[in-house]
Structure 1
Amino acid sequence: MIQRIQTVYLLIAFVVSAVLIFVFPVWENAAGEPVFAQEQLISFGMFLISGALSLISIFMFKNRKLQFVLGRLNIILNFFLLGVFVYWSLSLPGEMDISEKGIGMFLPIVSIVFLVLANKAIKRDEDLVKSVDRLR
Protein backbone atom coordinates (compact mmCIF):
# COMPACT_ATOMS: atom_id res chain seq x y z
CA MET A 1 0.00 0.00 0.00
CA ILE A 2 1.42 3.29 -1.06
CA GLN A 3 -0.23 5.37 1.68
CA ARG A 4 1.94 3.94 4.47
CA ILE A 5 4.31 5.99 6.63
CA GLN A 6 7.39 4.47 4.99
CA THR A 7 6.29 6.08 1.72
CA VAL A 8 6.48 9.49 3.38
CA TYR A 9 9.93 8.72 4.77
CA LEU A 10 11.16 7.46 1.41
CA LEU A 11 9.72 10.49 -0.36
CA ILE A 12 11.54 12.81 2.06
CA ALA A 13 14.77 10.83 1.47
CA PHE A 14 14.21 11.24 -2.29
CA VAL A 15 13.73 15.00 -1.94
CA VAL A 16 16.86 15.30 0.21
CA SER A 17 18.97 13.21 -2.18
CA ALA A 18 17.73 14.39 -5.56
CA VAL A 19 16.27 17.88 -5.09
CA LEU A 20 18.06 19.64 -2.25
CA ILE A 21 21.48 19.07 -3.81
CA PHE A 22 20.58 21.81 -6.29
CA VAL A 23 19.59 24.20 -3.48
CA PHE A 24 22.31 23.82 -0.84
CA PRO A 25 26.03 24.09 -1.64
CA VAL A 26 28.35 21.33 -0.52
CA TRP A 27 31.13 23.78 0.30
CA GLU A 28 32.60 27.14 -0.62
CA ASN A 29 35.91 27.41 -2.39
CA ALA A 30 38.72 29.80 -1.46
CA ALA A 31 37.15 32.59 -3.54
CA GLY A 32 33.92 32.34 -1.55
CA GLU A 33 31.90 30.87 -4.42
CA PRO A 34 29.48 28.07 -3.54
CA VAL A 35 30.27 24.63 -4.97
CA PHE A 36 27.21 22.46 -5.58
CA ALA A 37 27.10 18.67 -5.81
CA GLN A 38 26.50 18.67 -9.56
CA GLU A 39 29.95 20.19 -10.08
CA GLN A 40 31.58 17.07 -8.62
CA LEU A 41 30.73 14.05 -10.77
CA ILE A 42 31.20 11.41 -8.05
CA SER A 43 29.00 13.10 -5.47
CA PHE A 44 26.38 14.08 -8.06
CA GLY A 45 26.13 10.51 -9.35
CA MET A 46 25.89 9.05 -5.87
CA PHE A 47 23.20 11.55 -4.86
CA LEU A 48 21.16 10.74 -7.97
CA ILE A 49 21.54 6.98 -7.45
CA SER A 50 20.41 7.43 -3.86
CA GLY A 51 17.39 9.41 -4.99
CA ALA A 52 16.56 6.83 -7.64
CA LEU A 53 16.79 4.00 -5.10
CA SER A 54 14.42 5.87 -2.79
CA LEU A 55 11.95 6.45 -5.62
CA ILE A 56 12.13 2.84 -6.80
CA SER A 57 11.70 1.64 -3.24
CA ILE A 58 8.47 3.63 -2.89
CA PHE A 59 6.87 1.60 -5.69
CA MET A 60 8.11 -1.77 -4.37
CA PHE A 61 5.36 -1.80 -1.71
CA LYS A 62 4.12 -5.24 -2.78
CA ASN A 63 7.54 -6.80 -2.22
CA ARG A 64 8.48 -5.65 1.27
CA LYS A 65 11.64 -7.75 1.45
CA LEU A 66 13.04 -6.15 -1.70
CA GLN A 67 11.95 -2.74 -0.42
CA PHE A 68 13.86 -3.40 2.81
CA VAL A 69 16.98 -4.52 0.90
CA LEU A 70 16.86 -1.44 -1.33
CA GLY A 71 16.62 0.71 1.79
CA ARG A 72 19.68 -0.96 3.29
CA LEU A 73 21.59 -0.55 0.04
CA ASN A 74 20.63 3.12 -0.02
CA ILE A 75 21.84 3.57 3.57
CA ILE A 76 25.20 2.01 2.66
CA LEU A 77 25.46 4.27 -0.39
CA ASN A 78 24.78 7.36 1.74
CA PHE A 79 27.40 6.29 4.30
CA PHE A 80 29.88 5.90 1.44
CA LEU A 81 28.94 9.35 0.14
CA LEU A 82 29.42 10.79 3.62
CA GLY A 83 32.84 9.13 3.75
CA VAL A 84 33.76 10.71 0.41
CA PHE A 85 32.81 14.13 1.77
CA VAL A 86 34.86 13.60 4.92
CA TYR A 87 37.81 12.43 2.85
CA TRP A 88 37.60 15.47 0.58
CA SER A 89 37.33 17.89 3.48
CA LEU A 90 40.18 16.39 5.50
CA SER A 91 42.72 15.36 2.87
CA LEU A 92 42.89 18.34 0.58
CA PRO A 93 46.03 20.33 1.35
CA GLY A 94 46.01 23.83 2.69
CA GLU A 95 42.35 24.85 2.34
CA MET A 96 42.85 24.88 -1.41
CA ASP A 97 39.47 23.72 -2.65
CA ILE A 98 37.29 23.62 0.42
CA SER A 99 37.31 26.89 2.30
CA GLU A 100 34.08 26.51 4.24
CA LYS A 101 31.83 23.50 4.51
CA GLY A 102 28.24 23.97 3.42
CA ILE A 103 25.03 22.36 4.55
CA GLY A 104 25.12 20.08 1.52
CA MET A 105 27.73 17.93 3.26
CA PHE A 106 25.13 16.97 5.86
CA LEU A 107 22.42 15.94 3.39
CA PRO A 108 23.52 12.26 3.45
CA ILE A 109 23.02 12.23 7.23
CA VAL A 110 19.45 13.52 6.87
CA SER A 111 18.81 10.96 4.15
CA ILE A 112 20.19 8.15 6.32
CA VAL A 113 17.87 9.12 9.19
CA PHE A 114 14.77 8.97 7.00
CA LEU A 115 15.89 5.72 5.35
CA VAL A 116 16.35 4.11 8.76
CA LEU A 117 12.87 5.26 9.79
CA ALA A 118 11.45 3.85 6.54
CA ASN A 119 13.19 0.51 7.09
CA LYS A 120 11.79 0.33 10.62
CA ALA A 121 8.28 0.90 9.27
CA ILE A 122 8.80 -1.70 6.53
CA LYS A 123 10.02 -4.22 9.12
CA ARG A 124 7.00 -3.46 11.30
CA ASP A 125 4.66 -4.09 8.35
CA GLU A 126 6.43 -7.35 7.52
CA ASP A 127 6.13 -8.53 11.12
CA LEU A 128 2.44 -7.62 11.13
CA VAL A 129 1.79 -9.63 7.97
CA LYS A 130 3.70 -12.61 9.37
CA SER A 131 1.68 -12.53 12.60
CA VAL A 132 -1.60 -12.43 10.66
CA ASP A 133 -0.45 -15.35 8.49
CA ARG A 134 0.20 -17.39 11.63
CA LEU A 135 -3.41 -16.99 12.69
CA ARG A 136 -4.78 -18.42 9.45
Structure 2
Amino acid sequence: MLQRIQTIYLLIAAGVSAGLIYVFHLWITDSGVRVFADDVNYVYAAFLASAFFSIVSIFRYKNRKSQFILGRLNIILNFFLLGFFVYQSLNVSGETAVSEKGIGMLLPIVSIVLLALANKAIKKDEELVKSVDRLR
Protein backbone atom coordinates (compact mmCIF):
# COMPACT_ATOMS: atom_id res chain seq x y z
CA MET A 1 0.00 0.00 0.00
CA LEU A 2 1.38 3.34 -1.03
CA GLN A 3 -0.35 5.35 1.71
CA ARG A 4 2.04 4.28 4.46
CA ILE A 5 4.38 6.63 6.33
CA GLN A 6 7.50 4.96 4.93
CA THR A 7 6.37 6.01 1.46
CA ILE A 8 6.50 9.63 2.58
CA TYR A 9 9.95 9.14 4.11
CA LEU A 10 11.26 7.42 0.98
CA LEU A 11 9.76 10.06 -1.30
CA ILE A 12 11.38 12.87 0.70
CA ALA A 13 14.71 10.96 0.69
CA ALA A 14 14.46 10.65 -3.11
CA GLY A 15 13.71 14.36 -3.34
CA VAL A 16 16.72 15.19 -1.20
CA SER A 17 18.98 12.93 -3.26
CA ALA A 18 17.72 13.95 -6.68
CA GLY A 19 16.36 17.46 -6.24
CA LEU A 20 18.35 19.34 -3.65
CA ILE A 21 21.70 18.51 -5.27
CA TYR A 22 20.92 21.21 -7.83
CA VAL A 23 20.05 23.78 -5.15
CA PHE A 24 22.87 23.42 -2.60
CA HIS A 25 26.54 23.51 -3.57
CA LEU A 26 29.01 20.99 -2.20
CA TRP A 27 32.00 23.28 -1.85
CA ILE A 28 33.55 26.43 -3.18
CA THR A 29 37.01 26.22 -4.73
CA ASP A 30 39.78 28.66 -3.93
CA SER A 31 39.03 30.51 -7.16
CA GLY A 32 35.42 31.11 -6.03
CA VAL A 33 33.70 28.54 -8.25
CA ARG A 34 30.74 26.76 -6.66
CA VAL A 35 30.91 23.00 -7.20
CA PHE A 36 27.56 21.22 -7.40
CA ALA A 37 27.00 17.48 -7.39
CA ASP A 38 26.50 17.33 -11.16
CA ASP A 39 29.99 18.78 -11.66
CA VAL A 40 31.62 15.66 -10.15
CA ASN A 41 30.46 12.60 -12.11
CA TYR A 42 30.78 9.88 -9.46
CA VAL A 43 29.14 12.03 -6.77
CA TYR A 44 26.31 12.79 -9.17
CA ALA A 45 25.92 9.09 -9.98
CA ALA A 46 25.86 8.20 -6.27
CA PHE A 47 23.15 10.76 -5.55
CA LEU A 48 21.05 9.57 -8.47
CA ALA A 49 21.55 5.92 -7.45
CA SER A 50 20.34 6.81 -3.96
CA ALA A 51 17.24 8.46 -5.42
CA PHE A 52 16.68 5.45 -7.68
CA PHE A 53 16.90 3.03 -4.74
CA SER A 54 14.39 5.13 -2.83
CA ILE A 55 11.91 5.19 -5.72
CA VAL A 56 12.29 1.46 -6.37
CA SER A 57 11.84 0.79 -2.67
CA ILE A 58 8.54 2.69 -2.70
CA PHE A 59 7.11 0.38 -5.34
CA ARG A 60 8.32 -2.79 -3.59
CA TYR A 61 5.59 -2.40 -0.95
CA LYS A 62 4.31 -5.93 -1.42
CA ASN A 63 7.67 -7.43 -0.52
CA ARG A 64 8.69 -5.73 2.71
CA LYS A 65 11.92 -7.72 3.07
CA SER A 66 13.29 -6.49 -0.25
CA GLN A 67 12.08 -2.99 0.61
CA PHE A 68 14.01 -3.17 3.89
CA ILE A 69 17.14 -4.48 2.14
CA LEU A 70 16.99 -1.71 -0.49
CA GLY A 71 16.74 0.79 2.35
CA ARG A 72 19.82 -0.66 4.01
CA LEU A 73 21.78 -0.61 0.73
CA ASN A 74 20.73 2.99 0.24
CA ILE A 75 21.94 3.88 3.75
CA ILE A 76 25.30 2.23 3.01
CA LEU A 77 25.56 4.17 -0.27
CA ASN A 78 24.88 7.42 1.56
CA PHE A 79 27.51 6.56 4.19
CA PHE A 80 30.07 6.07 1.40
CA LEU A 81 29.04 9.40 -0.07
CA LEU A 82 29.35 11.07 3.32
CA GLY A 83 32.75 9.44 3.84
CA PHE A 84 33.92 10.81 0.51
CA PHE A 85 32.84 14.30 1.51
CA VAL A 86 34.64 14.05 4.84
CA TYR A 87 37.77 12.78 3.09
CA GLN A 88 37.53 15.53 0.49
CA SER A 89 37.18 18.27 3.06
CA LEU A 90 39.75 17.03 5.60
CA ASN A 91 42.50 15.41 3.55
CA VAL A 92 43.21 18.26 1.19
CA SER A 93 46.45 19.84 2.33
CA GLY A 94 46.49 23.60 2.42
CA GLU A 95 42.92 23.76 1.15
CA THR A 96 44.00 23.82 -2.47
CA ALA A 97 40.80 22.38 -3.89
CA VAL A 98 38.16 23.03 -1.21
CA SER A 99 38.13 26.57 0.08
CA GLU A 100 34.69 26.63 1.69
CA LYS A 101 32.39 23.73 2.51
CA GLY A 102 28.81 23.92 1.32
CA ILE A 103 25.56 22.71 2.83
CA GLY A 104 25.30 20.11 0.08
CA MET A 105 27.81 17.97 1.98
CA LEU A 106 25.12 17.42 4.63
CA LEU A 107 22.52 16.05 2.22
CA PRO A 108 23.58 12.40 2.77
CA ILE A 109 22.98 12.86 6.52
CA VAL A 110 19.42 14.03 5.89
CA SER A 111 18.88 11.13 3.52
CA ILE A 112 20.29 8.62 6.05
CA VAL A 113 17.92 9.87 8.75
CA LEU A 114 14.90 9.62 6.44
CA LEU A 115 15.90 6.14 5.26
CA ALA A 116 16.38 4.97 8.85
CA LEU A 117 12.89 6.23 9.72
CA ALA A 118 11.48 4.45 6.67
CA ASN A 119 13.22 1.20 7.60
CA LYS A 120 11.87 1.48 11.13
CA ALA A 121 8.34 1.83 9.77
CA ILE A 122 8.86 -1.07 7.36
CA LYS A 123 10.06 -3.27 10.21
CA LYS A 124 7.04 -2.22 12.29
CA ASP A 125 4.70 -3.23 9.44
CA GLU A 126 6.47 -6.58 9.07
CA GLU A 127 6.08 -7.30 12.78
CA LEU A 128 2.40 -6.34 12.60
CA VAL A 129 1.81 -8.76 9.72
CA LYS A 130 3.65 -11.54 11.56
CA SER A 131 1.58 -11.00 14.71
CA VAL A 132 -1.65 -11.13 12.71
CA ASP A 133 -0.49 -14.35 11.00
CA ARG A 134 0.05 -15.93 14.40
CA LEU A 135 -3.57 -15.32 15.31
CA ARG A 136 -4.91 -17.19 12.27
* Counterpart Cα distance in 2 of 1:36 and 1:105: 10
Whether 1:13 aligns to 2:28 is no
| Cα offsets for 1:68-119 (capped at 9, x unmatched) | 0000000000000000111111112211111000000000000000000000
Q: Which amino acid in 2 is paired with 1:115? A: L
Identity of aligned residues (%): 66
Q: Deviations over 1:3-58 (max 9, x none)?
A: 00000000010000011001100011112221101111111111010000000000
- Matching residue of 2:63: 63
Specify the alignment match of 2:120 in structure 1.
120
Unaligned regions of 5+ residues in structure 1, if any? none
User: What does residue 92 of structure 1 align with?
Assistant: 92
The answer for the alignment partner of 1:133 in structure 2 is 133
Using the alignment, how far apart are the partners of 2:76 and 2:38 within structure 1? Answer: 21
CA distance in 2, matches of 1:78, 1:41: 16
Amino acid at match of 1:45: A
- Runs (4+) of structure 1 moved beyond 2 Å? none
In structure 2, runs of 5+ residues without a counterpart are none
Which one-letter code corresponds to 1:33 in the other structure? V
In structure 2, give the amino acid aligned to 1:41.
N
Matched residue count: 136
